[in-house]
């Protein structure tokens, strides 16, 4: 039986950025009150979850995020924090204490290219600053550090240049995960300018694997491999499976983690999930160093 060893918890929709490629919930969705967040963690315990991916929105904007991370850590669940790096310095202490995998984005070899899809240049520099921080303080680095890049019309043709930019940090980067852009059900009108031709993704990834030195550190995530690939909990506490429906990914609800029977919720999830995609999207990175 497929086990829910990894949960992607979109704990908040609120974000300081408005990235065109965003895979997150509407920015109007706030985090639940601390009491309910802690109840969700109890549900994760009951499910015997091993790794919780804290994402959003920007998870570091959750008012009680320090307490959430502490309690997850004390419950022996590995924390993978996906953050846009804007607030890294503010939470450096908590990240050092509680986070097992730090997942940070870089979407271009220059701040101008990065801003084509992120509508923001500052996080280009803050991402590099995080990498420099751990380059000079390797003992402080979380067990895993992952750089994520979204392939889209905005980044097409730039991947060998990004590889050269990341080259000095190869010793601190455990995984470079490259996501093919998915047309998500939220903010579709903003995403239209960066939608890409599907054939270009495979060709550029083949060239990257051949010509860069990152080798097995590169994890390629085509859109098709992420269809029905998650146990995801959204800011409302609903368990959802992002599912491709006629070329647009929608959040298919399988239950309410706070209200529904966990046995029934898991059964519904098993009926709808693509087991191979679920395993592939988590094992290559989080199984390293026994996070799974």
The per-residue pLDDT for 292 is 66
Peptide bond connecting 165 to the previous residue in cis, omega within 30 degrees of 0: no
List Cα–Cα distances, 182 to 28, 60, 122, 265, 276, in angstroms. Answer: 21, 24, 24, 26, 19
pTM: 0.96
**DSSP string over 18-37:** --TT--S--TT-PPPPHHHH
Cα(197)–Cα(169) distance, rounded to whole angstroms? 31
Cα(148)–Cα(150) distance, rounded to whole angstroms? 7
Model confidence at 45, pLDDT cuts 50, 70, 90, reads very high
Over residues 66-75, the pLDDT tens digits come to 999 999 999 9
Over residues 58-110, the pLDDT tens digits come to 999 999 999 999 999 999 999 999 999 999 999 999 999 999 999 999 999 99
Q: Which of 87-96, 132-141, 230-239, 280-289 has the lowest mean pLDDT?
A: 280-289
All structural domains of the chain with their residue ranges:
6-290
CATH architecture designation of domain 6-290:
Alpha-Beta Barrel (3.20)
Query: Do strands 175-180 and 218-221 pair parallel, antiparallel, or not at all (unpaired)?
Result: parallel
């Amino acid at each position: 039986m497929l086990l829910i060893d990894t949960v992607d918890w979109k704990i908040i929709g609120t974000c300081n950025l408005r990235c065109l490629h965003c895979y997150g919930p509407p920015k109007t969705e706030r985090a639940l009150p601390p009491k309910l967040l802690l109840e969700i963690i109890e549900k994760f315990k009951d499910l015997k979850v091993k790794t919780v991916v804290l994402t959003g929105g920007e998870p570091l904007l959750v008012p009680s995020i320090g307490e959430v991370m502490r309690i997850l850590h004390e419950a022996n669940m590995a924390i993978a924090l996906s953050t846009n790096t804007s607030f890294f310095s503010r939470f450096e202490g908590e990240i050092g204490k509680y986070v097992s995998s730090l997942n940070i984005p870089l979407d271009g070899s220059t701040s101008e290219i990065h801003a084509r899809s992120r509508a923001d240049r500052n996080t280009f520099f803050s991402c590099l600053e995080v990498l420099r921080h751990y380059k000079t303080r390797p003992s402080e680095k979380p067990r895993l550090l992952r750089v994520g890049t979204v392939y889209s019309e905005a980044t097409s043709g730039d991947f060998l240049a990004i590889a050269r930019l990341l080259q000095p940090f190869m010793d601190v980067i455990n995984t470079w995960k490259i996501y093919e852009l998915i047309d998500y059900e939220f903010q579709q009108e903003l995403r239209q300018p960066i939608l890409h031709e599907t054939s270009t993704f495979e060709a550029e990834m083949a060239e990257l694997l051949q010509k860069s030195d990152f080798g097995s550190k590169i994890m390629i995530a085509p859109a098709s491999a992420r269809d029905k690939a998650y146990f995801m909990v959204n800011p409302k506490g609903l368990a959802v499976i992002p599912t491709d429906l006629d070329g647009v990914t929608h959040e298919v609800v399988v239950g309410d983690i706070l209200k529904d029977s966990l046995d029934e919720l898991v059964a519904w999830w098993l009926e709808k999930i693509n087991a191979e995609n679920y395993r592939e999207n988590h094992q290559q990175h989080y199984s390293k160093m026994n996070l799974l």
